[in-house]
Structure 1
């Protein structure tokens, strides 16, 4: 079962990830809200749409903009709606 680990804490675990461009997208309901702090950061992907970010909060530390999601992805990326992906030192195992 894939899990996302940062700062020694399992911040997400599921048997239902979608892999896009090498990134595991976890269902939002499998990432406890206590580990996510909204961020004002956004970026634009030409084929997925506008990405929004979260700062990860775990183990007494914060990892700014280390999680992202597409609240309204373009049709080509519809499979990642309501899913969260990670980077910036978050290990997927």
Structure 2
């Protein structure tokens, strides 16, 4: 069973303002094309996934994962993201 995803207020605002489908966020969290550590905070993970509905641009979801939950910090289409 998947861990629950909890959105910070910032993440909720970002998804709404950027007109991101929450399903895209969920797919990026649970089925990323790749992930990397955030260089500014080792507790934060960045997960990426191409979004065909947005011309194949990559959605970046920043999150903190614990044994009990996945807390979504932010989400946006990253113009500079490239698969590693």
TM-score by shorter chain over 0.5: no
User: Greater relative contact order (Cα 8 A, min sep 6): structure 1 or 2?
Assistant: 2
Give the TM-score taking structure 2 as reference length. Answer: 0.43
Say which structure is richer in helix.
Answer: 2
Give the TM-score taking structure 1 as reference length. Answer: 0.40
